[in-house]
Amino acid sequence: MKELQNSLGAYLKLHWKTAVFLVVLLLGIGLADQFVDSYMRRILNLCAIYVIVSLAMNLVNGFTGQFSLGQAGFMAIGAYTVAVFTVPIESRAAIFYLEPMAPFLANIQLPFIVALILGGLVTAVVAFFIGYPCLRLRGDYLAIATLGFSEIIRIVFTNTQSITNGALGIKSIPTISSLWWTFGIALIIIIATVLLINSTYGRAFKSIREDEIAAEAMGVGLFKTKMTSFLIGAFFTGIGGGLFAALLGTVDPKQFYFTLTYNFLLIIVLGGMGSISGTVIASFVVTLGQEALRFLDEPMAFGLDLPIFRPGLRMVVFSFLLMVIVLFYRKGLMGTNELTWDFMAEKYRALKKRLGGKKTATEGGAKK
Amino acid sequence: MVVGMTMETFLQQLINGLSLGSLYALIAIGYTMVYGILRLINFAHGDIFMMAAYFTYFGIAVFFLPWYVTFIITIGLTMLLGVTIERVAYRPLRDAPKTSLLISAIGVSFLLENVANYLFSGKPMAFPEFPLLTTPFFIGGLSIQPVSIVIPIVAFFLMTALLFVINKTKIGMAMRAVAVDYDTAKLMGIKINGVISSTFAIGSGLAAVGAILWCMKYPSVLPLMGVVPGLKCFIAAVIGGIGNVKGAVLGGLILGFSEVLMVAFFPALTGYRDAIAFVILIVILLFLPNGLLGKKQVEKV
């Protein structure tokens, strides 16, 4: 017992800043959960879900260097699993009015958390079948296969009337409103990702990103390692999708158009491909930014009837932003760095030095 | 023969498959040529195709230009668009990691889609009809739209011309050299930038012709019209062996035929029409990863 106390004490001594930060963060979420209005609550929930999905995407694309564009499709699977298994049995007849729900599903209702995890697992199984042919090959086939898959899954969900209710979608999914679900799961996934990245697996992921041939020569099993990363990513994305369904309370195939994936791509490129903290920051920036820039889509933005403000402008701005980042700030906010205390201290010192340097320079100029 | 299918309907479907396959082939060539030289999936290619459809629409339905003037302007503008995209979005990243290049390609695609959606609205626009080409004529119980015959003929001529350019002219030789070995070609004094620009010009020009013919057959223009044909045509290029022009044509035809015939033989699967391409892709990647005509690629250290 004493030993445990000692080691805990030593740990806290080493990481007291992180511990304080975590406590403050949890208090902040608790306070926000008490006081924010429903609009802000929805946006914050969306931020947390975007953190989960973008982190999963960055794990595959940024850390392992495999270009996957299936996020929208994977989310759809997670979302539909939660929808199908949590909709109250008594309201199913009203929802599936065109064609009754398939009998093998009609009477199963699962608790939310079970359905959520099941959604993640189903997504991972589907990801296995896409990854199996693509990940054995070098090259970009994964990108096209996953993008194609997210289109196909919409087609499939639109056609399986008795399971997904086709184009009508599923309504009255029991919703979550507390911030704890989304932020709690996001925190767990962030911590899991950090632990994963710093483990043997994480180092294998990064070695594949840097140089596949060298990694293989060093004894990293390429296919197995890529597959591990891809499946974990898919699992997290499925969970994110499940939360998304429970946040909105309704799913239909149109929500999971492949352009949804490009949101996450923008996030990981902005945050830095291969940075966990960058992804978290960028998720908030992009999600909040998308809300803040809604005025661009409205004709009377500044009280004037300017013809340039009309639906669609916001997305033009966002896609343009993606291009600018890729062309001029390829590393994004964080590059492959993490926002650790050391990193911040270093930046602070560099900033101080630069400011100080400027000062002496101007002084020198004044002497002349 | 499947029950309920007469010889006539079968022939009819073959003609449909041939014209759809030729369209796929025209677009697939753009993918395969760019991939051959830059090793890049040009995600924007499908959207270049979409822009070409809008150019044609505006030329004929808004500015009331004669069709031949519109076609020439459309092809010219689309080539310019393709070359500009390469110049602005791909060339600065030529020495960057490949992922950046791929993201840039996706970014261009996303930008073009959003710009089209913003400028032309998301509503589908009705492409002007060409009664001469769309009024069906009848041969022995077959009802054939002239456009279904015109498409394969135009495609055939363009592909013959393209093969001539690639195999017999100086620029074609430079293209082949760059595709085989980028660095050595550079050392041999080939002007890489010029070769890449002309590759994009040719690919985009063929996509423009594809778009014009596509809209005659399926007369509706909308901002996301290029996405699914784009994906399918990339798959067509993979089926034939990416980097191989003849392979792209073969892949396009295979894809066109299998799509049309699947719907004809199994009407219950009509909803899954767009899915067949991806099933074929997965099968090809599993058993013939280099495609039907592709050479095995060995990664060099």
CATH number of the domain enclosing A303: 1.10.3470
A318 to chain B: closest CA residue:
B111
**Residues from chain A contacting residue B31 (CB–CB below 8 Å):** none
Inter-CA distances, A44 with A33, A40, A217, B274, Å? 10, 6, 45, 37
**Residues from chain B contacting residue A293 (CB–CB below 8 Å):** none
The band of A137, judged by pLDDT with boundaries at 50, 70 and 90, is confident
pLDDT per position as a tens digit, A187-205 = 999 999 999 999 999 999 9
A213 to chain B: closest CA residue:
B301
Helix (H) / strand (E) element for B220: namely strand B220-221
Say which residue the tokens 């261009």 belong to: B108
Q: Which of B84, B99, B239 to mutate to test the interface with A (most CBs of A within 10 A)?
A: B99
The pLDDT of residue A302 is above 70: no
Residue A322 lies in a domain: yes
Q: How far apart are CA A257 and CA B34, in angstroms?
A: 27
The distance of Cα B148 from the centroid of its chain, to the nearest Å, equals 17
Give me A266's structure tokens: 């923008």
The sign one gets for the Cα dihedral A126, A127, A133, A136 is negative
**Residues from chain B contacting residue A132 (CB–CB below 8 Å):** 286
Give me A300's structure tokens: 């009377």
Q: Looking at the partner chain, which of B96, B234, B289 has a beta carbon nearest the beta carbon of A330?
A: B96
A258 to chain B: closest CA residue:
B227
Q: Which domain holds residue A119?
A: 39-337
The dihedral over CA atoms of A200, A206, A209, A215, expressed in degrees to the nearest 10, equals -40
pLDDT, position A266: 93
Residues in Cβ contact with B271 at an 8 Å cutoff, skipping those fewer than 6 apart: A155, A158, A159
Q: Looking at the partner chain, which of A140, A143, A316 has a beta carbon nearest the beta carbon of B118?
A: A316
Q: Looking at the partner chain, which of B92, B96, B114 has a beta carbon nearest the beta carbon of A315?
A: B114
pLDDT, position B71: 94
The band of B144, judged by pLDDT with boundaries at 50, 70 and 90, is confident
Q: How far apart are CA A171 and CA A158, in angstroms?
A: 15
Q: Which of B118, B272, B298 to mutate to test the interface with A (most CBs of A within 10 A)?
A: B118
pLDDT per position as a tens digit, B254-301 = 999 999 999 888 888 888 888 888 888 888 888 888 888 877 665 555
Residue A357 lies in a domain: no
**Residues from chain B contacting residue A322 (CB–CB below 8 Å):** 103, 107, 110-111
Say which residue the tokens 């392992």 belong to: A64
Number of domains chain A is built from = 1
The pLDDT of residue B4 is above 60: no
Residue A331 lies in a domain: yes
Q: Which of A327, A328, A329 to mutate to test the interface with B (most CBs of B within 10 A)?
A: A327
Residue A364 lies in a domain: no
What's the whole-model pTM score? Answer: 0.88
Q: Looking at the partner chain, which of B99, B114, B275 has a beta carbon nearest the beta carbon of A312?
A: B114
Give me B281's structure tokens: 């892709």
The sign one gets for the Cα dihedral A100, A104, A109, A115 is negative
Residue A116 lies in a domain: yes
* ipTM confidence: 0.86
Q: Looking at the partner chain, which of B89, B104, B285 has a beta carbon nearest the beta carbon of A137?
A: B285
Q: Do the Cβ atoms of B114 and A134 come within 8 Å?
A: no
**Residues from chain B contacting residue A327 (CB–CB below 8 Å):** 89, 92-93, 104
B191 and B177 in contact (C-beta within 8 Å)? Answer: no
Give me A239's structure tokens: 């969970």
Q: What is the DSSP letter of B169?
A: S
Q: Do the Cβ atoms of B107 and A326 come within 8 Å?
A: yes
Q: Which of A84-93, A294-303, B259-268 comes out lowest in average pLDDT?
A: A294-303
- CB-CB neighbours of A22 under 10 Å: 13
A325 vs B9, residue with greater confidence: A325
- Identify the CA nearest to B99 among candidates A249, A332, A28: A332
Residue A343 lies in a domain: no
Q: Which of A319, A320, A325 to mutate to test the interface with B (most CBs of B within 10 A)?
A: A319
**Residues from chain A contacting residue B301 (CB–CB below 8 Å):** 213
- Identify the CA nearest to A170 among candidates A77, A256, A84, A74: A84
Q: Do the Cβ atoms of B104 and A326 come within 8 Å?
A: yes
pLDDT per position as a tens digit, A273-291 = 989 999 999 999 999 998 8
Q: Looking at the partner chain, which of B106, B117, B278 has a beta carbon nearest the beta carbon of A262?
A: B106
The pLDDT of residue A235 is above 90: yes
Q: Looking at the partner chain, which of B92, B107, B275 has a beta carbon nearest the beta carbon of A155?
A: B275
pLDDT, position A34: 82
pLDDT, position A234: 97
- Identify the CA nearest to B205 among candidates B63, B44, B81, B65: B81
| Residues above pLDDT 90, as percent of chain A | 48
Residue A351 lies in a domain: no
B272 to chain A: closest CA residue:
A155
Residue A2 lies in a domain: no
Q: How far apart are CA B242 and CA A251, in angstroms?
A: 38
Q: Do the Cβ atoms of A213 and B299 come within 8 Å?
A: yes
Q: Which of B278, B279, B297 to mutate to test the interface with A (most CBs of A within 10 A)?
A: B278
**Residues from chain A contacting residue B231 (CB–CB below 8 Å):** 144, 147-148, 151
A67 to chain B: closest CA residue:
B99
Instruction: Give the mean pLDDT of B168-187.
Output: 91
CA distance B99 to chain A (A): 7
